[in-house]
Structure 1
């Protein structure tokens, strides 16, 4: 049953990509992609109800467990919201002849992100992550502006360099395992976690650090984050949503899985400290750039670095609270950052600029959309009564009880600074008069407003009510990662 669901989940965007490739009809391909996103969403939303342990298939090369199922839920949600938004946003480009190519790449990008968490073999997981890079590079440079092409080149060069280090770490890990398991063996996550106590700790530590840097580059953790602001700000808004709300989570679970192997090997403390250090540094870098930011989409991009830092801190702090907080933060961030990039895309198209200084009295032109976007801005700073407040508070609780309590105090201070800096940017766009004459041209399509509503509702619900079923599910993930807890 689960194999059938997963086959349909992956097959839907694959079919959409094929249709977009062979049928050059803009209206048809956008609807086919939207249908594929709905099918994928229905499939992923059912997974947490069915996946309670590690299940493998395709001769042990693929599998699904609670952690990958959760990430697939986040990806499915973002894919659906972005597909709805893309209908209205991409029509505003007034280049219908290019839309089939866009939706071919867009559906393929979604497919690679749905496949990657299913890779049970560590080497295949690396290949899947690299495939997400190759496909998304063309989407980042899709608008053919000089800045977009530069961002695409920067993205593929930096991320591929980082992923190469992850490959080197994978090779070291395989070599270390061969000394215990023999020259040939199934390099699955579970096999390596079970064999970890017998592995050479120095070699395993080296492998972990290489993979932390490699996949940390893909996640956008500082100081490997340089590609992220350019890529997220120069790609079309639906692509920015997929990059921030889905792709970063897909790479983050690789770090979480390798951390579980390190814990089993007895080198967990130093690995946790390394992850905590990168998470805290990411928060610091994001804070400095958010306060002084002038580009609206770059503002959202640095917010993504901030929240990946928060998730890294949660996994780094460890324990039941740390893991639960990180997983809850994943879904809340996926919803919230989708909303924020939708709003940024609307403002950019309406005013014809990415410059915050030229976006003024936004609420006067778009009262409904602007209020939802402002609510999202409050939510993304971790303020109540929205979901990110609960997830960040849970991660802070985990940090205060860990050996890295200093990072929890730093996180609290930096989150306050981000709250002030981020909302000050919105105050400028909503209240300050323009320094030069500016106006918003045209109306925002309903396609671009509906997904904002669909995102803000669960964000509010998850801030007022943490479902008990979520806590039970997070306990399953913690058990999978070798962490006990009540």
Structure 2
């Protein structure tokens, strides 16, 4: 299959789910259309990173199918599939009426489509538009429940993120200005043209442009201190939406930072950008650790875990080198599996106990004998404990930091990961082993198979990836490193 046909089919599946769902306006049809779209997207995305290790450009250079973009698309496809399975049971109970479901699934598929487009965009300016589009669509999903808290979270999300993205646009303009010293006033602003022009660009424009982009897209990624939208949006949106925000959207925004980091490296001015990325990564870990320790609401606990893991990703790319890149890409995949699992478990608990507070959630073993056990294993996995995949990816990033010039950051990372491990599992200890009270009521929840299946699939994958690093993936990671200008 040609690259153009492959990408066209990849985008066509969710586009059809949007159009047909809105046209037919039937709840059950919309569910199955979205699920069929998610299955098709996963089938098409799974081989993509291995088929196109060497970059291929499409649409007169406006699209690029390369190892980095394809890997992020695979992560998006995994989260989209898991979330679409879980959403069937969750949204039937969460929706106020059947009439809401076609709109929800149209927005959900549209959100997935926007995140499947952005990583494959080759124009720096069009990439900015694609990232802003993800914000506009997901805002309606964050506020979908239409209560005071969700509406406040949606407004906060769009205002904070759009403000940050505006800085990314300013940084992009500075980089374009720098490129004009090489190409003239008009040229195609692609990732490769910037890399080629970087050695001849004024260093002040290059560094300032990157730092503005780092702050702008870093806001979307949820790096501290630009993370203020993330806890509210993740905690107030429906659980499948929270999974998509954490497991897919944050990775999509990281692509722009990583590609432009390669531009500064090509110019020989990468020391400051790498240090900035490392500092933001460490600060994100500090903020995540502090708020995880004292957290009382279950979905906000997962949200601050996302801040922590985006800090780990930033450290991986900031440490750089083949080992840092490989660890970061592997961590991206593992986080895309683990975080939906945790949000699904949180969604089950919230609907069962009728509360978001962990103090109200006791006796998890009794309430959820199967999914509760999977959720607990997911909590162990997200803290980076063996034998799950996140342990292997975090250990690889630590090795990259230990062997590089930022060993201090690797030491801080290790200490904070241990603190987060203790604090995170202490919350789960209380929910599972704490004193059980008999509440006035419990809300029965249905669709057990739809709720357990995606959690089991995610946990099984995390266990396999913790015990076995597929050898064929090393060529993908090497292709990503080479595409970013990293030499062995």
Shorter chain as denominator, the TM-score bin is over 0.9
Mapping for residues 373-412 of structure 1, pairs under 5 Å: 373-412=375-414
Which of 476, 479, 482 is 2:482 aligned to? 479
Instruction: State the 1:106 CA deviation.
Output: 0.5
Q: Distance in 2 between matches of 1:478 and 1:444?
A: 46
Confirm or deny: 8 A CA contact 2:383 2:421 kept in the other structure. Answer: yes
Q: Which residue of 2 aligns with 1:323?
A: 325
Which of 109, 122, 125 is 2:124 aligned to? 122
Instruction: State the 1:167 CA deviation.
Output: 0.1
Q: Which residue of 2 aligns with 1:64?
A: 65
Secondary structure of 1:308's partner? helix
Kindly report the root-mean-square deviation, in angstroms, between the aligned alpha carbons of the 2 structures: 1.0
Which of 241, 244, 253 is 1:242 aligned to? 244
1:178 aligned onto 2:180: yes
Secondary structure of 1:37's partner? helix
Instruction: State the 1:46 CA deviation.
Output: 1.5
Q: Distance in 2 between matches of 1:236 and 1:116?
A: 23
Q: Distance in 1 between matches of 2:123 and 2:436?
A: 55
Q: Which residue of 2 aligns with 1:36?
A: 37
Mapping for residues 35-184 of structure 1, pairs under 5 Å: 35-94=36-95, 95-184=97-186
Confirm or deny: 8 A CA contact 2:362 2:437 kept in the other structure. Answer: no
Give the unaligned 5+ runs of structure 1. none
Q: Which moved more, 1:369-378 or 1:53-62?
A: 53-62
Confirm or deny: 8 A CA contact 1:346 1:444 kept in the other structure. Answer: no
Q: Which residue of 2 aligns with 1:455?
A: 458
Which of 253, 256, 259 is 1:254 aligned to? 256
Confirm or deny: 8 A CA contact 1:358 1:434 kept in the other structure. Answer: no
Instruction: State the 1:112 CA deviation.
Output: 0.2
Deviation per CA, 1:265-316, whole angstroms, max 9, x where unpaired? 1110111000000000000000000010000000000000000000000000
Deviation per CA, 1:138-173, whole angstroms, max 9, x where unpaired? 000000010000000000000000000000000000
1:219 aligned onto 2:258: no
Q: Which residue of 2 aligns with 1:3?
A: 4
Give the unaligned 5+ runs of structure 2. none
- TM (normalized to structure 2)? 0.98
Secondary structure of 1:63's partner? strand
Q: Which moved more, 1:374-383 or 1:178-187?
A: 178-187
Deviation per CA, 1:55-105, whole angstroms, max 9, x where unpaired? 111111111110000000000000000000111100012521100110111
Secondary structure of 1:92's partner? helix
Q: Which residue of 1 aligns with 2:468?
A: 465
Deviation per CA, 1:5-31, whole angstroms, max 9, x where unpaired? 110111110110111111110000010
Confirm or deny: 8 A CA contact 1:358 1:436 kept in the other structure. Answer: no
Secondary structure of 1:59's partner? coil
Q: Distance in 2 between matches of 1:458 and 1:421?
A: 25
Q: Distance in 2 between matches of 1:478 and 1:283?
A: 25
Q: Which moved more, 1:92-101 or 1:187-196?
A: 92-101
Judged with a 3 Å threshold, the aligned counterparts in structure 2 of structure 1 residues 295 and 438 are, in CA distance, closer, same or farther, namely farther
Secondary structure of 2:57's partner? strand
Q: Distance in 2 between matches of 1:75 and 1:330?
A: 10
Runs of 4+ in 1 over 3 A off after TM superposition: 434-440
Judged with a 3 Å threshold, the aligned counterparts in structure 2 of structure 1 residues 439 and 291 are, in CA distance, closer, same or farther, namely farther
- TM (normalized to structure 1)? 0.99
Confirm or deny: 8 A CA contact 1:2 1:50 kept in the other structure. Answer: no
Q: Which moved more, 1:410-419 or 1:464-473?
A: 464-473
Instruction: State the 1:437 CA deviation.
Output: 3.2
Q: Which residue of 2 aligns with 1:349?
A: 351
Deviation per CA, 1:166-209, whole angstroms, max 9, x where unpaired? 00000000011011111111111011111111111111000000
Secondary structure of 1:56's partner? strand
Q: Distance in 1 between matches of 2:438 and 2:135?
A: 40
